[in-house]
Amino acid sequence: MSFDIAVMQAFNGISLFTILLLMSLGLAIVFGLMGVINMAHGELMAMGAYATYLTAKVCEHLLPGWWLAAYLFIAIPVAFAVTFAAGYVIERGLIRFLYNRPLDTLLATWGLSLILQQTYRSLFGAQEVSVPLPGWLAGAWEPTADMQFPLNRLFIIALTAVVGIAVYWLLYRTRWGLEVRSVMQNRPMASAVGINTARVDAMTFALGSGLAGIAGSVFTMVGSTNPGTGQLYIVDAFIVVVFGGVQSLLGTALSGFAIAESQTVLEYLMSGSMARVSILALVIVVLYFRPQGLFASRTRS
Amino acid sequence: MGENKLKLEIVSAVVLMILLLGIVPFVLDPFRMNLMSKYLAFAFVAIGIVLTWGYGGMLSLGQGIFFGLGGYMLAMFLKLEASAPELPDFMVWSSVEQLPLWWEPFRRFGWTLFFIVVLPAALAYLFSYAVFKKRVSGVYFSIVTLALALTMTVLIVGQQGDTGGANGITDFRTLMQMPITGDGPQRVLYFVEVFVLAAVIGAALFVARSRLGKVLIAIRDQEGRVRFSGYNTAHIKAAVFALAALFSSLGGAFYTLQVGLIAPNAMGVVASVEMVIFAAVGGRLSVVGAVVGAVLVGFLRSYLSETFPETWLYFLGALFLIVVLVLPNGLFGLLDRWMLTREKRRPENINVLGVRA
């Protein structure tokens, strides 16, 4: 393997890693911190993608041409806002009745995901929709003849870094984050010291959903969206979270990185499907030796 | 399971059998009959889920794996018979020149049957014993089985030449020279299926009311205490999981026979989650409820998708939401509660202390 190919492989791995991380960050909060198995997480990503698609359409029709170049900077906050609101409604209307019944959240959110899929089909049709890539994100940066870094991938990497840092700051450097962490660790005790746990739950779930929306919005840059898109992502996202060890956002990030890099390396050596099978088998084996995931936090509970 | 609940189960099982053997075959047209057979194939899986999830608290999101194993093994036999002495057509298309070694046992019906009964159960036991020994449980167990179901489908789709890929294995007509397509043979198969289903229901009820079933419930509620009492809980859980895998494998074999094909999408993640929902709708603690749930959701699915092709998923989604929120123990839980309140009202059932007998 020449140096250039090695660099490109590493880049592809990082590119896949950022996508996995965006997919699973919201889930890590909802599943890892709250213990809610949200099978509709993929559909929330699709919601973000559709919100982006609609924003692009609106920009195309209403705003002067040069706005189209900047629509992503409108679309990402819009996708976040839409899915944040949806998550809030879902938590208040459904999830809050099912705390401490994790397997029931799974069934209920599966039903919800069917409803959401049907909604997308009714609103947008069964076909794929895609969003035009702004001109400044097309093409690639080519430092040498054999190295090409697609600009949209670079943008995704930068955005993931921003989102990751923002989530870290929110959860570990703000008062609200402190409340979230205390509620997740010990709900009755947090409630006893005067934290409004119901509000914290709703906001946390909404934040997780909003992150799914950002992920969905970003995915429109690499692929098209159809009503079933969400189901493609959901299992991968769960595997990343469980592999990393729930309750550990750092674990989620590291497990996403490990999975993405090994996937790209294996894909270089064998067929895509066999690479995927090997990764999944590897994850199952690792979970056998470390049932709580790679980076489980040590607790007595 | 309490005496009353057992009585209720046995009565409903008998009613169910009368319906399935005496009424359904004479009321439904061949097309609906064929659908019914398909739903009953899923009922086998749902019964296994009642035992593992309802009684044992182990929610597998990968029951489709065992369903698929049973279905594929029978399909391999049927395909070899249909294409003998040549290679199966999809192998020829993928320019596979020699029959893969692991296809060889499926030339004979006896071996095929043996593997359908033994292989999924053995694999399920080995896998789950290892996992339970490590005390992987609850949600983690569910996610691992989910990953396993995904692995299986990716593997099968990827190995096009050996497995038929995403299209699955199709196009067979005879089972040991007897035709299996057409209304007459499918009717015969339906009766065979119902008889095997009756045996499975009997076995499941037997397990549920046996000592094993009681220990299983105890493990679900307080695994630590049962372990400290000297039971090897991993062994008990794995044994029940293997039994459920065996049921699922039988269901898969009947699915292949009735539908005429087996493909990865019948055993994938989506299919596996739906199988859990069959059990949930019927009642996760009722064996007969699981059968009713499988048939009911299957029919609702067919009916709604025919009548409201545009919006039927709304109904299906709403059904799951309602079941979880309003009827956590499914339809049979409702029936059970109704019987209980009726009995409570009877004065002779209340003793001096006012406690229900």
Question: Residue A270 in 3-state DSSP?
Answer: coil
Three state DSSP letters for A128-165: CECCCCCHHHCCEEEEECCEEEEHHHHHHHHHHHHHHH
- The nearest CA of chain A is from the CA of B144 a distance in Å of 6
- The nearest CA of chain A is from the CA of B224 a distance in Å of 13
Residue B100 main-chain phi, psi, to 5 deg? -55, 145
Res. B179: pLDDT tops 70: yes
Q: How high is the pLDDT of residue B354? A: 47
Please compute the mean of the pLDDT values over residues B208-215 and round it to a whole number: 92
Please compute the mean of the pLDDT values over residues B289-306 and round it to a whole number: 91
- The nearest CA of chain B is from the CA of A293 a distance in Å of 9
- The verdict on a CB contact (< 8 Å) between A291 and B328 is no
Q: Which of A31, A99, A107, A123 to mutate to test the interface with B (most CBs of B within 10 A)?
A: A107
- The verdict on a CB contact (< 8 Å) between A281 and B319 is no
Q: How far apart are CA B145 and CA B58, in angstroms?
A: 10
- The verdict on a CB contact (< 8 Å) between B280 and A107 is yes
Please compute the mean of the pLDDT values over residues B190-219 and round it to a whole number: 94
Q: What six digits make up the tokens of B94?
A: 């993928």
Q: Which residue from A108, A121, A280 is facing B151, i.e. has the nearest CB?
A: A280
pLDDT band, residue B82 (cuts 50/70/90): confident
Q: Model's pTM, two decimal places?
A: 0.88
Distance set, CA B223 to CA B54, B207, B218 (Å): 15, 19, 7
Q: How far apart are CA B46 and CA B283, in angstroms?
A: 10
Q: How high is the pLDDT of residue B357? A: 42
- From chain A, the residues in CB contact with B324 under 8 A are 98, 104, 107-108, 111
> Does A136 contact chain B (CB < 8 Å)?
no
Q: How high is the pLDDT of residue A205? A: 94
- The verdict on a CB contact (< 8 Å) between B139 and A112 is no
Please compute the mean of the pLDDT values over residues B103-121 and round it to a whole number: 93
Counting Cβ atoms within 10 Å, is residue B97 exposed (0-12), middle (13-18) or buried (19+)? exposed
User: Given CA atoms A30, A179, A211, A10 in this order, what sign does their dihedral have?
Assistant: negative
Q: Which residue from A111, A277, A287 is facing B144, i.e. has the nearest CB?
A: A287
Q: Are B258 and B186 in contact (CB under 8 A)?
A: yes
Strand partners, B261: B170
Q: Which of A270, A287, A294 to mutate to test the interface with B (most CBs of B within 10 A)?
A: A287
- The verdict on a CB contact (< 8 Å) between A280 and B273 is no
- The nearest CA of chain A is from the CA of B94 a distance in Å of 16
Q: Which residue from B53, B130, B314 is facing A115, i.e. has the nearest CB?
A: B314
Q: What is the DSSP string of A63-76?
A: S-HHHHHTHHHHHH
- The verdict on a CB contact (< 8 Å) between B313 and A117 is yes
- The verdict on a CB contact (< 8 Å) between A287 and B320 is no
> Does A95 contact chain B (CB < 8 Å)?
no
> Does B317 contact chain A (CB < 8 Å)?
yes
The 10 Å CB-count burial string (b at 16+, else e) for A78-111 is: bbbebbbebbbebbeebbeebeeebbbbbbbbbb
Closest CA to A128 of A225, A215, A194, A207: A225
- From chain A, the residues in CB contact with B136 under 8 A are 287-288, 291
Q: How far apart are CA A83 and CA B207, in angstroms?
A: 46
> Does B199 contact chain A (CB < 8 Å)?
no
Token pair 């040991």: residue: B176
Query: pLDDT per residue over B251-280, tens digit each?
Result: 999 999 998 899 999 898 889 988 998 999
Token pair 């094909």: residue: B261
Q: Which element (helix H / strand E) includes B169?
A: strand B169-170
Q: How far apart are CA A33 and CA B116, in angstroms?
A: 41
From A97, which residue of chain B is nearest by alpha-carbon distance?
A: B325
Q: Are B66 and B75 in contact (CB under 8 A)?
A: no
Q: How far apart are CA B281 and CA B333, in angstroms?
A: 10
> Does B281 contact chain A (CB < 8 Å)?
no
Q: How far apart are CA B224 and CA A36, in angstroms?
A: 24
Q: Are B319 and B297 in contact (CB under 8 A)?
A: yes
> Does B114 contact chain A (CB < 8 Å)?
no
Q: What six digits make up the tokens of B112?
A: 């095929």
Question: Residue B174 in 3-state DSSP?
Answer: strand
Q: What six digits make up the tokens of A18?
A: 């950022």
> Does B138 contact chain A (CB < 8 Å)?
yes
Q: Which element (helix H / strand E) includes B170?
A: strand B169-170
- The nearest CA of chain B is from the CA of A273 a distance in Å of 5
Contacts 24+ apart (CB under 8 A), B111-116: B112/B73, B112/B74, B112/B76, B112/B77, B115/B73, B116/B69, B116/B70, B116/B73, B116/B74, B116/B249, B116/B250, B116/B253
Residue A119 main-chain phi, psi, to 5 deg? -60, -45
Q: How high is the pLDDT of residue B236? A: 95
- The verdict on a CB contact (< 8 Å) between B143 and A239 is yes
ipTM above 0.90, yes or no: no
Distance set, CA B94 to CA B89, B160, B210 (Å): 9, 7, 51
Please compute the mean of the pLDDT values over residues B296-321 and round it to a whole number: 86
From A39, which residue of chain B is nearest by alpha-carbon distance?
A: B273
- The nearest CA of chain A is from the CA of B150 a distance in Å of 8
Q: How high is the pLDDT of residue B345? A: 65
Q: How high is the pLDDT of residue A61? A: 82
CB atoms within 10 A of CB A4: 14
A-contacting residues of B 251-280, CB under 8 Å? 269-270, 273, 276-277, 280
Task: Give the list of residues 6+ apart from residue B169 with CB closer than 8 angstroms, or none.
Answer: B72, B75, B76, B78, B79, B88, B90, B163, B261, B262, B263
Q: In 3-state terms, chain A is what percent helix, strand and coil (to 5)?
A: 75, 5, 20
> Does A17 contact chain B (CB < 8 Å)?
no
Q: Are B145 and B153 in contact (CB under 8 A)?
A: no
- The upper half-sphere exposure of residue B184, i.e. CA atoms within 13 Å in the direction of its Cβ, equals 2
Q: What is the DSSP string of B277-322?
A: HHHHHH-TT-HHHHHHHHHHHHHHHHHHHHH-TTTHHHHHHHHHHH
pLDDT band, residue B141 (cuts 50/70/90): confident
Q: Which residue from A111, A231, A273 is facing B321, i.e. has the nearest CB?
A: A111
Q: How far apart are CA B217 and CA A10, in angstroms?
A: 50
> Does A92 contact chain B (CB < 8 Å)?
no
Per-residue pLDDT of chain A (301 residues; tens, 9 = 90+): 678 888 888 888 898 899 889 889 999 888 877 888 888 999 999 999 999 999 988 888 887 767 777 888 889 999 999 999 999 999 999 999 988 787 788 889 989 999 999 999 999 988 888 888 877 788 888 887 778 888 888 999 999 999 999 999 999 999 999 999 898 888 889 999 999 999 999 999 999 999 999 999 998 888 889 998 888 888 888 888 888 877 778 888 899 998 898 888 888 888 878 888 888 888 888 877 887 777 766 555 4
Give the max Cα distance, chain A: 63
Query: pLDDT per residue over B231-247, tens digit each?
Result: 999 999 999 999 999 99
Cα angle: B283, vertex B288, B294; to 5 degrees: 70
Q: How high is the pLDDT of residue B346? A: 63
- The verdict on a CB contact (< 8 Å) between A35 and B59 is no
Q: How far apart are CA A174 and CA A167, in angstroms?
A: 10
- DSSP state, residue B261: E
Mean pLDDT of chain B: 88
Q: Which residue from A242, A277, A288 is facing B134, i.e. has the nearest CB?
A: A288
Dihedral-angle region of residue A297 (phi above 0 means left; psi in -120 to 50 means alpha; beta otherwise): beta
Pairs of residues, one from chain A and one from chain B, whose beta carbons lie less than 8 Å apart: 114
- The verdict on a CB contact (< 8 Å) between A113 and B144 is no
> Does A287 contact chain B (CB < 8 Å)?
yes
Q: Are strands B174-175 and B169-170 parallel, antiparallel or unpaired?
A: unpaired
> Does B58 contact chain A (CB < 8 Å)?
no
Q: What six digits make up the tokens of A266?
A: 């294996």
Query: pLDDT per residue over B35-81, tens digit each?
Result: 999 999 999 999 999 999 999 999 999 999 999 999 999 999 999 98
Closest CA to A208 of A88, A112, A291, A77: A88
Q: What six digits make up the tokens of A183?
A: 């509620």
Q: Which residue from B135, B155, B280 is facing A277, i.e. has the nearest CB?
A: B155
